[in-house]
A and B are shown apart, each in its own frame.
Chain A
Amino acid sequence: MENSVFTISNLNLHYGTFQALNNINIDIEKNKVTALIGPSGCGKSTFLRCLNRMNDLIDKCKISGNVLYHSEDVYQKNYDVISLRTKVGMVFQKPNPFPMTIFDNVAYGPRCQGLKNKNQLYKIVESSLKKAALWEEVKDRLKESAMGLSGGQQQRLCIARAIAMEPEVILMDEPTSALDPIATLKIEELINDLKKNYAIVIVTHSMQQAARISDNTAFFLSGELIEYNQTDVVFTAPKESKTEDYITGRFG
């Protein structure tokens, strides 16, 4: 597809002998929010981690198939993984700010890439925090520890941290499941805003959340991609019966 950032074809993943992903074919569109839904253990988080090769950290993980990022297979030999991760950012389920100042957290990524100029760093930190809708709340305490922020603020900090790298895609692994409803709402508003500039792939347990914020939805079940379509289609007129069962709450 023209608008794809990621084109995945025939993706299979094994943890040892257990097959976690079975023949996944999907395109991720630019500037859209793609939601991955499905019951626990269906492979959606596993799939997400294939996109930025975070599955490399797990032993005994075997992958076959193609994961093309801008027509280049990210799993090919000598592919620059570090560089991939600067363009495909990730936000985790449990907010994980580093035990450093708020400023240092956001500036971490750019610093790792060699940026030292204080003014540039400051600009990046400011703009990232603004885009993450956190600036107003922390602008006076950038030198304080990030651990002093609330859960919701920490998660937005993690989003700002990812944004600071100016990625093209942001992967989010159940980013609001550890947060209270108000913080969740704030993050959902943020996502809506972010999609103007980034492609977002979000794994979510909540179908309501998927319905609220996503443009495309992919339904996973037992390692297989059952259905992938525009969100309103999936939720109002699903093609597969399994999808309909899941959505209407017959299982999962």
Chain B
Amino acid sequence: MKTLISNIKNLFHFNNKREALDKIVKLVFLLATIISASFIVIITVFIAEEGIKPFITDNNGIGRVDFWKFITGTTWLEGTTFKSNLYGVGYIIVNTLYIAFLSLLIALPIGVLTALFIAKIAPKKLSETLRTIIELLAAIPSIVYGLFGSGVLLPMIYNLAKSFGVQSPGGNSVLATVFVLVLMILPTITALSEVAIRSVGKEIEQGSLALGATKTQTNFKVILTSAKSGIFSSAILGIGRALGEATAVSLVAGNSRTGPNFGVFDITSTLTSTMLQGLKETIGIDYDIRFSVGIILMIVILITNRGLNYVKRKIGNVDVK
């Protein structure tokens, strides 16, 4: 506190014009910094303000939305839009987590194995090429993945479902959503895991080989274990992306109005796709409720992040065979 006050005092004491200019410029820099730092607060405050509205106001006569029912509900909206206040997001939370973790489960092995291939097995030229391919995949905007999913995956899944005797609405399904998300988080996981693998010390690798282990044994038993921490970080980042992905998911998910939906050919909704649904004309409670869903999304991401970071620290201490 004392230093703060003396700093402010110093601010107004200068010797000549150049020093004054200097101080003003420094002030401008400081201002920029404060602006940058304050956005996270602005985001939280304003979204919370809009998002709380359905729960505490009367919503123009429709009635308050019950928070508990909201959190645990298994149907998005009972009754007609703009006339009902029975919104439920509970099943969507379950759907979102289910899909995100499923995507991680599939993308993690593929990504780590590819990273291993690039870092340790492929000859140099091939490694370079593959690394560039991964970078390209990472740079593709999510909307293009959505287009790809919509144009290629949906028809394929529709036919696949038909061969199982399941009538799927155009192919929109849990399977399509998971597939698209796997494609989208794969580059992140691969790139970060590759860095982690490459940074495992050479002496560890040599130590293993000197004991008579094969290259493959060395790769899988020692190098991957040493890169554990980095690989786990890549997984955390990947799942963050999976939870927050909006446009691509909304094109393949199908917008289920009740749930939760676990079957591979079921249509589904995620928190993000719900926020985007029917955005073109909407006002009033239907508009405000999207902010509420946004709050829920932020909370889900926060909890997942905290949880996974906790697990990551635990893994760092316990050693795996």
Contact = CB atoms under 8 A, between A and B. Distances in A.
Contacts of A109: 211-213
A113 B208 CA distance: 12
A108 B221 contact: yes
B214 A82 contact: yes
A109 B212 CA distance: 7
Interface in B35-72: none
B213 A112 contact: yes
B211 A54 contact: no
A153 interface: no
Contacts of B217: 112
Contact of A101 (B204, B209, B319): B319
B16 interface: no
B226 A104 contact: no
Given A96-B201, A100-B321, A145-B319, A86 B211 contact: yes
Interface stretch (A6-14, A87-95, A215-223): A87-95
Interface in A2-56: 52, 54
A6 B79 CA distance: 88
Given A57-B206, A96-B207, A112-B217, A145 B225 contact: no
B207 A158 contact: yes
Q: Classify the interface of chain B: helix, strand, loop or mixed.
A: helix
Nearest to A99: B226
A143 to B, nearest CB: 8
Contacts of A112: 211-214, 217, 221
Contacts of A100: 225, 319-321
Contact of B211 (A89, A94, A101): A89
A20 to B, nearest CB: 18
A98 interface: yes
Given A108-B221, A109-B211, A165-B211, A94 B203 contact: yes
Nearest to A109: B211
Nearest to B213: A112
A97 B226 CA distance: 11
B195 interface: no
B160 interface: no
Nearest to A107: B321
B313 to A, nearest CB: 14
Contacts of B211: 85-86, 89, 108-109, 112, 161-162, 165
A86 B204 contact: no
Interface in A113-128: 113
Residue from A94, A100, A145, A162 having most chain B Cβ neighbours under 10 A: A100
B182 to A, nearest CB: 29
Interface in A66-87: 82-86
B152 interface: no
A113 B212 contact: yes
A92 B203 contact: yes
Contacts of B296: none
A158 B321 CA distance: 18
Interface in B206-246: 206-214, 217, 221-222, 225-226, 228
Nearest to B205: A57
Interface of A: 52, 54, 57, 82-86, 89-90, 92, 94, 96-101, 104, 108-109, 111-113, 145, 158, 161-162, 165
14 contacts: A52-B210, A83-B212, A85-B209, A86-B211, A92-B207, A96-B201, A99-B204, A99-B225, A99-B228, A104-B321, A111-B221, A112-B214, A113-B212, A145-B317
**Closest CB pairs A-B (n = 3):** A86-B212, A90-B210, A96-B203
